[in-house]
Structure 1
């Protein structure tokens, strides 16, 4: 056999991936390569070389408001994706490959054959090829309470958690979230639930228009929801429950929401409780610039002020795509959106906040307390590897939380998932009272941390995490304390935060 013949001998895909990694700089995840060989095609993320936030052109004189900054950011991100992805999109199209481009992170989602993977590994514009696995999320559902927890007796007009954080005192001052939009990324929403319908931004009191108010990132049907549902649909119940806590009010016996005067919008990022890196990125992209139901005409001016996130992209289940989800979160916050994230339910051990998005510095991370202000045993603790900030940031009611449940009922649930929308609602109250806080997530975060209550707030495990003990404030168990919406409101109207810290 000649030397030339030996050079042309077929090379196994795994070996080709290694070779391409060293010659061209592209890396192929071995799990993706194996799946493509085994199944014929594999769900993949094609990660381009450039991931840093693009430099923004100076804003015109007089246009330094947060919406102008957001428009400039979205334009820069879209222009970068259109420019840097153009050749790759054309290549995929020519090969008949199904693909979905993103701009909030410089990534393309595609269904790739083994030959596609090998060819892409040789492209100089590709940094990495990663799998896009379906990641089951451990979502709380109706069931028994944790040991020692006490369930509220009967139905309360104002849910106990809402009262605990002193939201009704802010309402009495004239601010219940009016003029603010809260968004959720979750299992979907039963939009016409009695506690949610009046506050849905797509409902005008007579007719519904779901354009710019709802997006479905799930493109295949299941037993509860169609693919690309044209109206909000919840295939689990978890999303409906969280939305009830941030904005729910049936104007009768169930005042379950912290900010019942706010409007809400939503995106389904999980299919029956399982999301993928691509569905998470897709919802975050839509949040930064909502579109119509056809996914067209993105409008960053219709982005929410706050996004509530009670999900996790668990590394142990395959969420190993690097910084793509982190960049999406960072770009939401750079766009002036307050990004609230559940710490997870893997306590009581230390260092149990381990999954995106809660591990990111730009996320405002929430632990769970009960009606006696004790940290829930299940609430995940810090510290977070590679993050110098105390995590969680704060804690909020997350045990026996009563809120909306499909189709038109109510349920008590436990979890940091339940604590997180309390904080989203509290942020809406602050923005309602001081509209200048809109577009300034760092200022809102500072107010909530600064005014969190520590008196009587305990970690019954009495542990020390990351060098912080229960007598240290803040600490890596409870954060800065349990939020107090009224204390934060008083600090906000007194001007006790620098409104330039987000510029």
Structure 2
């Protein structure tokens, strides 16, 4: 896992299959597929159980009819229903077989995959030999690694509006256009959120001003982990075990009504899912959170009973799944495509691997056609951040990021009711774009669910920026380029264009 503000990395192993010829119900542990270099020792010759994601053959469900739905509400129901039906039919044989093996499993429907917890080497051999199994990813995390805070950064003084927010033009949207994000639901999957923070509590969809109802506004994909997590696990109420999620949500909606206007769209409501254990995530937790956003359900309930009408309009994703973790191919593409089909915009931080070219290397930012990817710049001097990843995408070779937003020394909320300016990264940039999208939908609700048009507006209203850096054969003097994309976001110009 790369948390794109503090540089968290988690590793897992990908297993590719070819030439599977044995039956779908192997009778011995000797049945095996070609598992690739270096994987046999790690997976099959070891003795410790390993949790694995098993991807099935047959492809993704056909979601194209969703575009013809009569309303955004019908679109969400159609996508949710079609995905569940496809997964049920495709996974039936595998799940029955795993049940006979006594395996502990978690099936997904947003992607055609099944998580098998604590699988023995023998069980993995059998899975690898099944005719209906395409490939296996090891679902494993390692201790996080942090990028130190910049010691030269200065804590920004409390002001009516954060300087980073002013740089986007958002205050002009509130004051001149009378649009603040009202009527829009934003989401974040991250390290959790301190929902009682004074800048966030009144903006939480699960709070009505008197009582809290977390059932459809919060989900915890971290049901177990290493001891010492300050929040614990399998939580029925929001908590942030690592600060990052509270900071990112604050940049989207934060305003305590007492001088800390830190958010782009203070009239919007937020929901959240924890996909990391103290900064450590893995493919299964990213998938689970994304699936929950598609149709939220109470913690501990059957995911198939989720309610698509409670899905958000836009999701902030300040994280990345690198190849070392298992995302070597198109692992998260069906996940993002499903949300897009359901009318949910997927905003992804570009990554902190710059300043070289081809450094947009981690999913989901690499999924260019389906995500709105965001690079980071310093709003105090209008220069691109050295750490901001450059394109083209290593997955599809397309230009990226799409736009740039403030991402250096950003002041926002942190757990316990405080604020910090010491956060930098494309993690900090992405939430600005989520807030801009919320303002757009609030100004013109007909844009809700229209991913292509929302993306077009954000990119074409950005202030163009050029550079001397040429990446992927694309000159830095062209727009878009692989350093700035289309340029710096301009919320006022974007919203003005749709009123």
Check whether TM > 0.5: yes
Helix, strand or coil at the partner of 1:211: coil
2:413: which partner in 1? 404
Which moved further from structure 2: 133-142 or 208-217? 133-142
> In the superposition, relative to structure 1, how do residues 32 and 73 fare at CA in structure 2: closer, same or farther (>3 Å)?
farther
1:298: which partner in 2? 306
Q: How does 1:331-346 map to 2 (within 5 A)?
A: 331-346=338-353
2:185: which partner in 1? 181
> In the superposition, relative to structure 1, how do residues 97 and 292 fare at CA in structure 2: closer, same or farther (>3 Å)?
same
Helix, strand or coil at the partner of 2:135: strand
1:43: which partner in 2? 51
The question of whether the paired residues in 2 share the 8 Å contact of 1:130 and 1:321 is answered with no
2:11: which partner in 1? none
2:470: which partner in 1? 464
2:216: which partner in 1? 212
Helix, strand or coil at the partner of 1:295: coil
CA distance in 2, matches of 1:225, 1:285: 23
CA distance in 1, matches of 2:214, 2:66: 34
2:159: which partner in 1? 156
Over residues 314-365 of structure 1, what are the superposed CA-to-partner deviations in whole Å (9 max), with x where a residue is unaligned?
11x3223633311101111111111100011111111111001010021111
Deviation at 1:129, TM superposition (A): 2.2
The question of whether the paired residues in 2 share the 8 Å contact of 1:393 and 1:449 is answered with yes
Deviation at 1:254, TM superposition (A): 0.7
The question of whether the paired residues in 1 share the 8 Å contact of 2:346 and 2:372 is answered with yes
**Structure of higher RCO (CA pairs closer than 8 Å, 6+ residues apart):** 2
Residue 311 (1) aligns with residue 319 (2)? yes
Residue 129 (1) aligns with residue 128 (2)? no
Q: Which runs of 5+ in 2 are unaligned?
A: 1-15, 24-31
CA distance in 2, matches of 1:136, 1:352: 23
The question of whether the paired residues in 1 share the 8 Å contact of 2:361 and 2:395 is answered with no
Q: How does 1:297-376 map to 2 (within 5 A)?
A: 297-315=305-323, 317-320=324-327, 322-361=329-368, 362-370=370-378, 371-376=380-385
Over residues 219-241 of structure 1, what are the superposed CA-to-partner deviations in whole Å (9 max), with x where a residue is unaligned?
11442122211111111101110
The question of whether the paired residues in 1 share the 8 Å contact of 2:106 and 2:115 is answered with yes
Specify which of 242, 248, 253 is matched with residue 254 of structure 2. 248
Deviation at 1:152, TM superposition (A): 6.3
The question of whether the paired residues in 2 share the 8 Å contact of 1:369 and 1:397 is answered with yes
Helix, strand or coil at the partner of 2:347: strand
Which moved further from structure 2: 372-381 or 36-45? 36-45
Specify which of 442, 463, 467 is matched with residue 452 of structure 2. 442
Over residues 250-299 of structure 1, what are the superposed CA-to-partner deviations in whole Å (9 max), with x where a residue is unaligned?
11111000000000000011111111111111111111111112233201
1:77: which partner in 2? 83
The question of whether the paired residues in 2 share the 8 Å contact of 1:56 and 1:76 is answered with no
The question of whether the paired residues in 1 share the 8 Å contact of 2:66 and 2:341 is answered with no
Over residues 17-36 of structure 1, what are the superposed CA-to-partner deviations in whole Å (9 max), with x where a residue is unaligned?
98963557966466376335
Q: Which runs of 5+ in 1 are unaligned?
A: 1-16, 494-503
Aligned length, in residue pairs: 466
> In the superposition, relative to structure 1, how do residues 55 and 428 fare at CA in structure 2: closer, same or farther (>3 Å)?
closer
Helix, strand or coil at the partner of 2:173: helix
1:97: which partner in 2? 103
Deviation at 1:450, TM superposition (A): 0.4
1:377: which partner in 2? 386
The question of whether the paired residues in 2 share the 8 Å contact of 1:135 and 1:318 is answered with no
1:6: which partner in 2? none
Which moved further from structure 2: 198-207 or 46-55? 46-55
Q: How does 1:42-61 map to 2 (within 5 A)?
A: 42-54=50-62
CA distance in 2, matches of 1:177, 1:171: 9
Over residues 43-98 of structure 1, what are the superposed CA-to-partner deviations in whole Å (9 max), with x where a residue is unaligned?
101111022232566899xx511221121111011011111111211211222111
Structure 2 length-normalised TM: 0.88
Specify which of 424, 432, 438 is matched with residue 434 of structure 2. 424
2:27: which partner in 1? none
CA distance in 1, matches of 2:60, 2:450: 21
Deviation at 1:468, TM superposition (A): 3.0
Specify which of 68, 82, 87 is matched with residue 93 of structure 2. 87
CA distance in 2, matches of 1:451, 1:58: 28
Helix, strand or coil at the partner of 2:376: strand
> In the superposition, relative to structure 1, how do residues 32 and 64 fare at CA in structure 2: closer, same or farther (>3 Å)?
farther
The question of whether the paired residues in 2 share the 8 Å contact of 1:186 and 1:310 is answered with yes
RMSD, matched Cα: 2.2
Over residues 348-385 of structure 1, what are the superposed CA-to-partner deviations in whole Å (9 max), with x where a residue is unaligned?
11111100101002111100111221111111100113
Structure showing greater radius of gyration is 1
Helix, strand or coil at the partner of 2:346: strand
Deviation at 1:118, TM superposition (A): 2.0
Residue 225 (1) aligns with residue 231 (2)? yes
